[in-house]
Amino acid sequence: MKNKTIALFLFLSSLFNFAFAQEVRPIRDKIGFCWNENEMNLFMEWIEQNNSDANFNSANLIGGISVHDDYLYAGKVYYPLYKLIKAKEVVIFGVTHGTARKELNNPNNVLVFDEYEKWQGPYGKVDISPLREKLKTNLDSDYILISNKAHEIEHSIEALIPWLQYYNRDISITPIMVTQMNFNRMENISNQLSKIILEYIAENNFVLGKDIFFLISNDANHYGNDFNNSSYGTNKGAHSIATTNDVRIINEYLNGDINTEKLRHLTTEIWPNIESKKPIPIWCGRYPVVFGLMTIEKIAKDFSGKFIEGSLFKYSDTFTEKVLPIKNTSMGLTAVFSYEHWCGWFTMGMYLK
């Protein structure tokens, strides 16, 4: 009898663990990001006390582009954007990095959704917005792919959650991974996606920026021999040239008015192009940036008749920032930095104009 009781207990425990695993998305990166409440509080206290250039306007802010690199590298770059986000729901356009592409046999031309009931945050579980199911139900079937595994091994969305949850414990999210696709395919999917989101906004009497916000996850140029990307060399001068080029692209195509023509031209700067005679920077969010901005622009125009304009909050890189001197944390670094291996990043706000 005793053995039967133990066996039953183990069986029920396994069922519980399986159900829990299906319910809550597990954390992918336990090193670069922060998943402990006390540590996140200490980290944010330091960040808030050591930022003097984070005074940006939150009025008419409806979206943004966010870094997703290690917090001990990029904490000061995350901060100016997240302190302004007040909405209770956030749609996040994430990257489909190489690990996830391999898992999915390198899919193109689709948005990747998950089926987890909640995601994990440092302050508890994060709710999934009902918008996710509405999108999965109403988007054309050839526009979407459902994969818990892909979302489980992709870090570009989870990186944003501790920041969002720090400022709003009741945040809910709609996580969307964007795969490679051409510009016309993006427009077709974005047209349908934006209409469904607008229906959801109308059904809930939401106000852009106040009730729902749009985030695009991206790291800028990944430079150095480890990335097969060292066209300018691997020294101080090369670092200056490559970071200056990142900022030029941001200023020319993302600062100021956002429109279809500018986004089309942006693809010639950041999308792989074997015919290009100039080096193409490796922005891991090159597809989410274009698709996300295209969608935000459509939503803003149809919702309010207004356009959107971008405003750069902060640009930097791992070599410039180095490691933040924050103690008493279990956070670490997932990569080295040097002139031979560094990554650029930035945060921007998208405003109704």
Along the 353 residues of the chain, how does pLDDT read in single tens digits?
434 443 444 344 444 444 444 699 999 999 999 999 999 999 999 999 998 766 789 999 999 999 999 999 999 999 999 999 999 999 999 999 999 999 899 999 999 999 999 999 999 999 999 999 999 999 999 999 999 999 999 999 999 999 999 999 999 999 999 999 999 999 999 999 999 999 999 999 999 999 999 999 999 999 999 999 999 999 999 999 999 999 999 999 999 999 999 999 999 999 998 778 889 999 999 999 999 999 999 999 999 999 999 999 999 999 999 999 998 899 999 999 999 999 999 999 999 99
pTM here is 0.93
| 61-66 vs 144-146, strand pairing mode | unpaired
- Is 291 a member of any domain? yes
Q: What is the pLDDT of residue 54?
A: 66
Q: What is the pLDDT of residue 35?
A: 98
Q: State which amino acid sits at residue 109.
A: N
- Is 18 a member of any domain? no
Q: What is the pLDDT of residue 4?
A: 47
Query: Using CA atoms, how far apart are residues 337 and 291, in angstroms rounded to an integer?
Result: 30
- Is 162 a member of any domain? yes
- Is 5 a member of any domain? no
Looking up residue 259, the CATH number of its domain turns out to be 3.40.830.10
Number of compact structural domains in the chain = 1
- Tell me which residue range forms the domain holding 261: 28-352
Q: Are 31 and 333 in contact (CB under 8 A)?
A: yes
- Is 22 a member of any domain? no
Choose among 120, 211, 196: nearest CA to 158.
Answer: 120
- Is 212 a member of any domain? yes
| 89-94 vs 212-217, strand pairing mode | parallel
- Is 258 a member of any domain? yes
Helices (H), 216-259: 236-249
- Is 149 a member of any domain? yes
Coil vs helix vs strand at 72:
helix
Q: Is 60 left (phi over 0), alpha (psi -120 to 50) or beta?
A: left
